[in-house]
């Protein structure tokens, strides 16, 4: 599935991933390939994903990678999953 993470500063991530985990307002949840369409608000927490998407130059220091899983701390945001494309709008 395709992941895009966009902030007011820049588009931070774009590329193929195998899973995305986000901090929803009712708890953390994970999206895998062919997940049902969803739109959700996000709260302060960590967006995690597995894969090797392109990370925008100059923003690599915002991410950590442990055991093949990337992490990005966010303050809030929204997520949309539709047709195997995940878009995270994050603050």
pLDDT at 80: 98
Phi, psi of 83 (to 5 degrees): 50, 45
pTM of the entire structure? 0.95
- Per run of 10 residues, the mean pLDDT along the chain (length 91 residues) is 97 98 97 96 98 95 95 98 98 93
Structural domain range at position 46: 2-90
Q: Tell me, what CATH number does 15's domain have?
A: 2.60.15.10
What's the total number of domains in the chain? 1
Cα separation, 31 vs 40, in Å, equals 12
- Sign of the Cα torsion 11, 19, 22, 80 reads positive
pLDDT at 73: 98
């Amino acid at each position: 599935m395709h992941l895009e993470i966009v902030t007011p500063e820049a588009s931070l991530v774009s590329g193929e991933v195998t899973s995305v985990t986000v901090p929803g307002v009712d708890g953390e949840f994970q999206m895998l390939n062919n997940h049902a369409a969803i739109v959700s608000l996000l709260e302060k927490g960590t967006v995690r994903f597995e894969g090797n998407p392109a990370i925008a130059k100059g923003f690599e220091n915002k991410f950590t990678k442990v055991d093949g899983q990337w992490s990005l701390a966010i303050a809030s945001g929204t997520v949309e999953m539709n047709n195997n494309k995940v878009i995270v709008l994050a603050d």
